[in-house]
Amino acid sequence: MKSKYHIEMTRDALEGIFSDKALQTIIRANIWQDRPQNQFSRDYIHFDGSAFEAGYAYIAHQKQAILSFLNSGKIKPAQKAFGQIIHTWQDFYSHSNYVQLWLKQHPETIPDEIEPADPSSLNSPELFSGVNYGLIEFIAMLPLLSKWVYERMPDDSHAKNNMDDPLANPLFPYAIAAATKRTRLVWRELQVKFKEYHLPQPLIDQFLGRENNN
């Protein structure tokens, strides 16, 4: 998904929860996940190539990293790990066919009604995401070459299966809605983790960037 949409979704989901400074750190870490070295051989970061189990494991690892960072007083690394988690989840909805599977069961729903964690869609044997074929995927996005390259891309390619922007797929609004809801859900799940691990409130306040408001 394009950076501007990652930024918009993250702000929409988390503004008012995190301070502006904390949110900026989270957003920078989010969009930094799309740096070039993460586009090759790291499918789990973007849920490309149906790397679902690896993606889920990466998210679980990052959640534990947040707890470890906070317990060590490392606030900014914890915020960055959170930004990395939500980037990966946001890509899940624009890179996989989760939206199509949801609509198959709920054909009359509008984007705002989509559920981001529907078990039958998440566990469907039909769930897949497009393969990242590397440099050719970037060429397929270039205005002067996109049409010619797109027509020659494999049917299982990222180029032919993504919902990274409104022009890529008319179901884009569903992907945005689901990804925004998932971003909020990740925060709620973290709150549960904080309680389970008895994380002190002052540390949570620092994570939120609101320690000076008390």
Direct distance between the N- and C-terminal alpha carbons of the chain, in angstroms, rounded to an integer:
37
Q: Please give the angle made by the CA atoms of 48, 24 and 16, to the nearest 5 degrees.
A: 105
Distance CA 28, CA 163 (A): 22
DSSP letters of 145-190? THHHHHTTS-TTBHHHH--SSTTT-TTHHHHHHHHHHHHHHHHHHH
pTM of the model: 0.91
Which pLDDT tens digits describe the chain residue by residue (214 residues)?
889 999 999 999 999 999 999 999 999 999 999 866 656 668 899 999 999 999 999 999 999 999 999 999 999 999 999 999 999 999 999 999 999 999 999 999 999 999 999 999 999 999 999 998 876 666 666 666 567 676 778 888 888 889 988 988 999 999 999 999 999 999 999 999 999 999 999 999 999 999 764 4
**101 to each of 3, 36, 52, 68, how far by Cα in Å?**
25, 30, 15, 36
Distance CA 199, CA 90 (A): 27
B/e letters for 21-34, b = 16+ CB within 10 Å, e = fewer, are ebbebbbebbbebb
